[in-house]
Structure 1
Amino acid sequence: QLDTGTAVDVAFDTHARLLRLRHGQMLVETAADPQRPARPFRVTTPYGTLQALGTRFCVRLFGDDALLVVQHGAVRISIPGQQREVDAGQQLCWNLTRLPLPVPALPGADAWVRGMLVADAMPLQQVLQELGRYQHRWLRVDPRVAGLPVSGAFPLDDLQRSLSMLAATHELRIEQGLWIHVSAAGHRG
């Protein structure tokens, strides 16, 4: 499944099943290959190659990094000169020069597939950026509250509801015009 702003090339042939993730985020769930011999399932990114080892995983490109979250099975990541396996329940943020050890996956990494954003102490600025990817209005946040840690689950298809939830739980003021401006309840943007 592809998230907003995602571009993928598909190249299945007699030797391999290959997806090229150009930008964005996708959820991959592999199945046994009916062809014999079975073809490997790979995802290439600008930061390396992923090989599915009977699995379900999300991969997202952002800035100069990529994020892999494995829900089931395992995924092998290869970058020039390095390789690492990431198991179910783990995630790994990497780039072309850095392939650290996997860490426990954050909850809700694939919640976007179900139309939700799950935040766990995520800065308000980042929450608004994520919500903004699913609608066409500009979202601005007052720098005084941009770093406010936000936790909760927010519907991606109902921006007004998500903003109301944020305003109620964090004493924020939401002003709407040509854009949406979020500030502390006592401040005007």
Structure 2
Amino acid sequence: MARRRFSTQDAIALMEEGLTRQEAARQLGVTAWAIALRFRSEGLEWRGAQHRLRFDDTTFARLWNCHAITTDEIAVAAGVTRQAVSARAHSMGLPSRNALRRRKMEPALFRDMWQAGVRLRDIARYFDYAHTACASAAARKLGLPRRQRGPSGHRNGGWVPTITLEQFLEARLAGRLRAEAADHDRRGRIQRVGA
């Protein structure tokens, strides 16, 4: 394979335009390593952008903490590699995505969902687990009982019928509203008696 020739002046001009070394290499038809070697041999230093992440720190932190968006998707949107995204998160002092995922699981809420019979796929989606097996493993770690098989082999794959996450949240909200209404009625009776 023939080596492509490029002038140092062309590379310097691209650097002064604010391009990364990788972007300049693409335009010159060479590798970024070739530019790095040329600059090193001539005693120069690349002062252009090192990586072109198109997000400010606040936006980047929100993207990093959102598990609906993968690291690869952030990298594509930013025009850098996955490793560059991870390196930026590390340099900003952000926790690893696995640590965030583990921290998001609230044992009390998980226990309530499990005991109410919320579908495994809904629990996994809510807590950002990669698979339903992760939700089952979390239930085992919390000491929750296994899901039981029901008498019906035709519906729900033989499992005891489950509810959706939406049904669980509606029931939970209804319970809170009933409790608030009862508390409001109780306060009203106390005020009438005291008046």
Larger relative helix fraction:
2
TM-score (norm 1): 0.26
Which has the higher Rg, Structure 1 or Structure 2?
2
Give the alignment's TM-score, normalised by structure 2: 0.26
> Which structure carries more strand by proportion?
1
